[in-house]
Amino acid sequence: MRVMAENSSFQTLTGFDDRVAIDPKRSYASVEARAATADHRASTVRLPSLIAIIGCDGSGKSTLAADLATALSADRSVQSLYLGQDSGNILRAIVTIPLIGGMIGRFLVRKGRKAHANKDKSATPDTTTAIAIYILSRWRRHKFARMLRLHANGQVIIADRYPQAEVPGFYFDGRGLIGAAPSNAFVRALIAREQRLYEQMASYVPALIIRLHIDAESAHRRKPDHKLAMLREKTRVIPTLTFNGAPILELDGRHNYADVLNEALAAVRKALAAAPPAIAPNGS
């Protein structure tokens, strides 16, 4: 072990309303102007009751998140949240729009998945693909804002995955719009706005990051439906992420799970020791 220093409205999903704020200390006032400054990009906010678990698919993130939440809930109010890019939930939200919801939702998710699968990552996305990817990132920010509200209300948060602004690519929980500088001004604007979204989210630093390591071949045995090439890319990139200097607990996801859980739980309790007690769900 090594420690290193659902508003589902279409307006919110498309990003045409930028009043969705992610700063719990500012009553969720607009952060767009602040996000455009170098000072904001350089600043960070520590979240003392947030634990994030990262790692390649198959490393055991979801299992560990659930077990940590169960163990901690005996004496704290705990929320276990998935903060990855979730095309399934955005589809379910959009399809509720009368008449055209189903068609729009399937189109946007199809475009986003096509961009994921595109081997030429240097290619500039077309306008409709860029819109689809941007909407998926707005959905992630929507979930992130909900997480911050829960944290501000005294909840301990166990996050499965965490957004970062260091390396682009949804595979690594970074921005999705990747490619050469486009000639299309609208696409350029979406790229810049998406980058600001990830800079905003990444500026909130967890009390502890738990990084589960695994090799691509072991991950593929656990997740045979995942492409081995993609798993290899994840196992190459994810260990390099720094998350704005957050404390990182490095664990081997191939080790005995009981040992992994015990070590993670001890580190989490230590990280939360200085945090204020959470509010019980019934208000007591």
Which helix (H) or strand (E) segment holds residue 231: the answer is helix 228-237
Helix pair angle (101-117, 127-152), 10° resolution: 100
CB 203: neighbour CB atoms within 10 A? 20
Domains of the chain: 2-272 (3.40.50.300)
Q: Give pLDDT tens digits for 148-193.
A: 999 999 999 999 999 999 999 988 999 999 876 777 899 999 999 9
Q: Is the per-residue pLDDT at 4 higher than 90?
A: no
**CB-side exposure of 264: number of CA atoms within 13 Å?**
31
Nearest to 48 by CA among 177, 119, 154: 154
Please tell me the predicted confidence (pLDDT) of residue 28.
Answer: 29
Mean of the per-residue pLDDT values of the chain: 79
Q: Give pLDDT tens digits for 113-135.
A: 555 555 544 557 788 888 888 98
Give me the residues paired with residue 211 across strands.
54, 250
Contacts of 109 (CB under 8 A, 6+ apart): 87, 90, 91, 132
Nearest to 281 by CA among 107, 76, 43: 76
Please tell me the predicted confidence (pLDDT) of residue 265.
Answer: 98
The predicted model scores a pTM of 0.76
In whole angstroms, what is the distance from residue 249 CA to residue 234 CA? 18
User: If pLDDT is split at 50, 70 and 90, which confidence band does 247 have?
Assistant: very high
Query: Residue 13 has which token pair?
Result: 């999903």
Computed from CA positions of residues 226, 227, 230, 234, in that sequence, does the dihedral angle turn out positive or negative? positive
Q: Give pLDDT tens digits for 216-238.
A: 999 999 999 999 999 999 999 99
Helix ranges (H only) for 118-224 are 127-152, 185-202, 216-222
**CB-side exposure of 176: number of CA atoms within 13 Å?**
29
CB 154: neighbour CB atoms within 10 A? 15
Q: Is the per-residue pLDDT at 15 higher than 70?
A: no
Q: Higher pLDDT residue, 18 or 51?
A: 51
Contacts of 59 (CB under 8 A, 6+ apart): 212, 213, 214, 219, 253
Residue type at position 27: S
Please tell me the predicted confidence (pLDDT) of residue 278.
Answer: 45
173 touches 163 (CB < 8 A): yes
Q: Give pLDDT tens digits for 26-82.
A: 322 333 333 333 344 458 999 999 999 999 999 999 999 999 999 999 989 999 999
Query: Residue 145 has which token pair?
Result: 């804002």
